[in-house]
Structure 1
Amino acid sequence: MPSAPTLAAFAGASLLLILFPGPSMLFLVARGAAGGRRVGVMSALGVGSATATFVLATALGLTAVLATSALALSVLRFAGAAYLVWLGIGVLRSRATTSAPEAPRLTVRQSDWTSWRQGYLVGIANPKVALFFLAFFPQFLDPARGSMTGQILVLGVVFVLIGLVFDTSYGALAGTISTRMARRRGRKRSARGKVAIGLTYIGLGGFTAATGSRAL
């Protein structure tokens, strides 16, 4: 178990890293703006679940194996980029049906699952998370404090919880603002907003493919 000072230092460092704007923040803002507060929150939970998966993989030593394979890292990076581009194209195509009275709607359960899944896939397809944990976590590990695996899991829980607080806030705030603006400006302006959101996804996909996206 990490000591109290170590946990405090780790929480502070994690907070600074999470607050720094990055592709994940833009993704969640775009998700909230496109689908509303609930979609933004569920997408954030998906991203948080992906981060938790990487924490568990780090504790089990799997991320070290991933980091040694350039091919595996490239496959994950390009898969994530392709998925973001695919989401962007989907948003751009859907703008034409915004005003259609018979447009099908997802149930709440289906919508929640879709939002969570999209967030998870975007998060898990980002190999930079694995590399980040390999570089960041060891600085706060102390062999004298017991099991290294246990320490990684404790630190990982702290990191995931801090990330969830802010990620869900980004998604919820973007969704709330988008809903209020849509009510005031009408569907025509909402369709224009979808174009911007779709292009944001595509831009994030291009950035990911070119440089690899940052986890935070």
Structure 2
Amino acid sequence: MVPASLAGTFALAALALILIPGPSVLFVVGRSLALGRLGGLLSVLGNALGMLPAIALVALGVGTLVAQSVVVFTIMKIAGAAYLVYLGVQVIRHRNDHTDSETDAPRRRPSPWRLVGEGFVVGATNPKTIVFFVAVLPQFVDYGAGNIPFQLAELGLIFFTIALACDSVWALAAGSARAFLARHPRSLPRLGAAGGVMMIGLGGALVFTGSKS
């Protein structure tokens, strides 16, 4: 088990990092603007669950191999970016769906499982998560205490919990802004399109962001 002092220090460092708006925040805000609070929160949950495979890989030692492989890193990065672009295009294509009647809206909206699944794919295909965990988590491990895989997993779950909480705040804020603007029905398609454009832009940015190093 990670000593309380190290766990606390890591929690503060993770909180400081997560509070800086990054790709996850842009994804969550874009989804919340397009789908509302519930859609944003379900996307947050899926995105956070997508971290769990990375945490498991790092804890088992496989994460280092993945992080050092240019081919694997590039494939994951391109796949994740392409999926974000796909989601953004779908949002723009269906931006008028939520302006229909109340009876049609539930039929047209993606199911909760689909929203969680889409968020999971985005989180799981982000290779920078593995690189971050490989680079940062070992610095907060007490090697004298042994059971290194368990300590790495514990630190990863601390990060998971903080990210889930903070990203949920972003989802609620963006979803509330959408709900406020939704009093003017014509603004909903524009908000949906804006969310889609954000996701497409994020996907493009991820492709052209630096090298693995």
Equivalent residue for 1:50? 50
Aligned counterparts of 1:6 and 1:99: Cα–Cα separation in 2: 50
The ranges of structure 1 where at least 4 consecutive aligned residues each deviate by more than 2 angstroms after the TM superposition are 95-108
Structure 1: unaligned runs, 5 residues or longer: none
Give the 3 Å change call, closer, same or farther, for CA 74–169 of structure 1 in structure 2: same
Q: 1:83 is matched by which residue type in structure 2?
A: Y
Equivalent residue for 1:63? 63
Equivalent residue for 2:205? 207
Aligned counterparts of 1:72 and 1:9: Cα–Cα separation in 2: 31
Q: CA RMSD in A?
A: 2.0
Give the 3 Å change call, closer, same or farther, for CA 145–107 of structure 1 in structure 2: farther
TM-score if structure 2 supplies the norm length?
0.91
CA contact (8 A) 1:126 1:212 kept: no
Aligned counterparts of 1:88 and 1:128: Cα–Cα separation in 2: 21
Question: Aligned pair count?
Answer: 210
Give the 3 Å change call, closer, same or farther, for CA 164–72 of structure 1 in structure 2: same
Equivalent residue for 2:15? 15
Give the 3 Å change call, closer, same or farther, for CA 59–107 of structure 1 in structure 2: farther
User: 1:1-216 counterparts in 2 under 5 A?
Assistant: 1-101=1-101, 103=104, 105-106=106-107, 111-183=111-183, 185=184, 187-211=185-209
Q: 1:16 is matched by which residue type in structure 2?
A: A
Identical counterparts, % of pairs: 38
Cα deviation code 1:22-69 (max 9, x no counterpart): 011011011111111111111111111111221111101121121232
Cα deviation code 1:107-155 (max 9, x no counterpart): 88x6211111111111111101111111001111121112101111111
Cα deviation code 1:46-93 (max 9, x no counterpart): 111111221111101121121232111111101111111111111111
Structure 2: unaligned runs, 5 residues or longer: none
TM-score if structure 1 supplies the norm length?
0.90
